[in-house]
Chain A
Amino acid sequence: MKDRRKTLQFALMKTLPIAVSYFFVAVAFGMLMTQAGYPLPWSLFTSVWVYSGAFQFVLVSFLAAGAPLLTISLTALFMSSRHIFYGLSFLQEFRRAGKAFPYLIFGLTDEVYSLFCSLEYPPEVDQPRAMFEIALFSQLYWILGSVAGAAAGSLLPANVKGIDFCLTALFVTIVLDQWKNAASRRPALIGFACALVCLALLGASRFILPAMMLAAGLLLLDAKFRKEAAHEA
């Protein structure tokens, strides 16, 4: 017998680790947005509509710098391209969720994806309902954190120097994690090389878009050449 209360309890318990990490990361996001000149409604809007952890931090610095919409779009496209894989694991399960199906797709962040992958559902838990509640609660923690951070940020004196370094630190940790876990370190090395070359050639204000295009092109060639090499061997 499926039990709504047990399902709710299940979803709340399983999202506890996400609650802690999402809340605090989102607080940092909200503070940065406020410091960049975009007060609370902007943080709320971004976390409701975009809901993409690391990218939202990049978005803050792009907004603050007035980056072109093309740069912002391509960065969103390239950074979030990993999400293409997440849905593949749940093609059937998500469809069974009925009306919640479009929201389950929307809520498929890195953390929710890895939680879904690890879950075993007890018999009394209604699985589609639990998945929806897990996705929903996770975004609510993210939104709550963003709003709390934005409110806290407006209490700080304007332009506290150096808070935006948390973006740099966040990407350093992501690169370190990937460096340790990746099957291949070539993509990271290609990224660094392209970024440094383009920075040297084009200067700080114009290098990121060419660097991303160059890296994408090299990765395509790299994959193609390696496949051909494997074919000949």
Chain B
Amino acid sequence: MKPDASYAAAAILISGAITYLLRALPFLVFHDGRQMPAWISGLASALPAAIMAILVVYCLKDVPASSAQTQLAAAAGVAATAAVHLWRRSTILSVFAGTAVYMLLLAFL
């Protein structure tokens, strides 16, 4: 168990509440044919793609400062994920292949 269970519980409770609120928003706001303000719809359609790109960088943020072995494994893992994904377009297969390459290189290089 992590030291701070109340922190984790709060994080999970808040995340769930925010997610539900976003899913419920159209039902709360648009019950009598009102239009969504343009800036909200514009932001909501553009933000997720930007956030996903930021999250890729977030996942790899510690790579530049790590060992050459980790750097090589990360580069190969990303390349393998992308290659398999462009080839088969199956998320499960791509994630599995990329993670396997990364773990094998970390273990045996």
CA distance A195 to B30 in the complex (A): 34
B46 contacts A219, CB within 8 Å? Answer: yes
B29-67 contacts to A, CB under 8 A, are 30-31, 36, 38-62, 65
Q: How far is the CB of A142 from chain B (nearest CB, A)?
A: 13
Q: B39 and A220: CB pair below 8 A? A: yes
Complexed CA–CA distance, A188 and B54 (Å): 8
- Tell whether, in the assembled complex, residue B51 and residue A191 are in contact, meaning their CB atoms are under 8 Å apart: yes
Q: Do B56 and A168 touch across chains, with their CB atoms under 8 A apart? A: yes
Are the C-beta atoms of B39 and A223 separated by less than 8 Å? yes
Q: Mark A96-115, 1 if CB is under 8 A from B, else 0.
A: 00000010011010000000
Known: A83-B22, A87-B24. A223 touches B42 (CB 8 A): yes
Say if the beta carbon of A55 comes within 8 Å of chain B: yes
B20 engages A106 (CB within 8 Å): yes
B92 part of interface (Cβ distance < 8 Å): yes
Given contact pairs A163-B99, A187-B47, A62 touches B86 in the complex (Cβ within 8 A):
no
Total interface residues on B, CB under 8 Å, equals: 70
**Whole-angstrom CA separation of A190 from B53 in the bound complex:** 9
Contact bitstring A177-191, B, C-beta under 8 A = 1, else 0: 110001010111111
Q: Mark B72-109, 1 if CB is under 8 A from A, else 0.
A: 01100110011001100001101110110011001100
Least Cβ–Cβ distance between B89 and chain A, in angstroms:
8
- A76–B19 CB distance below 8 A: yes
Indicate whether A208 reaches chain B with its CB closer than 8 angstroms.
yes
Is the beta-carbon distance between A199 and B61 smaller than 8 angstroms?
yes
A139 to chain B, nearest CB (A): 12
A219 touches B43 (CB 8 A): yes
Tell me if B61 and A175 are in contact (CB < 8 A): no
Range of interface residues on chain A?
Answer: 35 or more
Is A172 in contact with B50, judged by CB distance below 8 angstroms? no
B57 near A170: Cβ-Cβ < 8 Å: no
User: In the complex, A145→B56 CA distance in Å?
Assistant: 24
* CB of B1 closer than 8 Å to a CB of A: yes
Instruction: Using A69-B10, A82-B44 as known contacts, say yes or no to A169 and B27 having CB atoms under 8 A apart.
Output: no
Closest chain B residue, CB of each to CB of A48: B16
Q: Look across to chain A and name the residue whose beta carbon is closest to the beta carbon of B61.
A: A204
Contacts of A106 in B (CB 8 A): 20, 23
Given contacts A79-B51, A171-B55, A223-B42, contact A94 B27 (CB under 8 A): yes
**What are 24 A-B contacts with C-beta separation under 8 Å?**
A38-B1, A45-B12, A51-B16, A76-B18, A77-B22, A79-B51, A80-B23, A82-B48, A85-B41, A91-B27, A106-B20, A108-B23, A161-B106, A161-B107, A165-B77, A165-B103, A170-B91, A170-B95, A173-B81, A173-B95, A178-B49, A188-B52, A195-B58, A196-B57
Interface residues of chain B, those whose CB is within 8 Å of chain A, are 1-2, 4, 7-16, 18-20, 22-27, 30-31, 36, 38-62, 65, 73-74, 77-78, 81-82, 85-86, 91-92, 94-96, 98-99, 102-103, 106-107
Other A-B pairs beyond A85-B44, A186-B46, A219-B43, 8, CB < 8 Å: A24-B92, A45-B12, A59-B11, A66-B7, A88-B36, A168-B78, A173-B95, A188-B50
